[in-house]
Structure 1
Amino acid sequence: MPNRYECWPAARSRQALYLPIGRDELLRRLPTATNEDVNALTVSPEALDDFFARFDAPADDEDVIIYPAIWASS
């Protein structure tokens, strides 16, 4: 067993997941997410627009699992 200052090597590698959900769907979900969790960060429509303006979807050559858009509408 390692002492307090040692770390065990990770058993798994990290994997990025991309869930392609459109702006309109996220706007629809915002009130529900904010009301269900008292610790949720409040996101305004303007903040969401700012995020979408700066966000770049993963490129084809990046090691990312992309979930199909069908999942995003459920």
Structure 2
Amino acid sequence: MTIASNVKQCLATMKGIEAQLASFALNSLDTEAQATFNQAMLTVGEVKKDLQYRVLELERHEPQYKGS
């Protein structure tokens, strides 16, 4: 598996984790748990943004990875 494939797979996983944390925050009855899930979701969102940037950089420098 190429680096680009690994990064894209990691990005997809992070998107799923972010969505799951958002769901936990919405469905939790405990306000402290909601805040914790929300903060974790925001942290994962920052990592996701970094990975999206990295994918763009990989595609820009290595055109063969574009769209794969």
TM-score, normalised relative to structure 2:
0.33
CA radius of gyration, larger in: 1
TM-score (norm 1): 0.31
Higher share of residues assigned helix? 2
More strand by share: 1
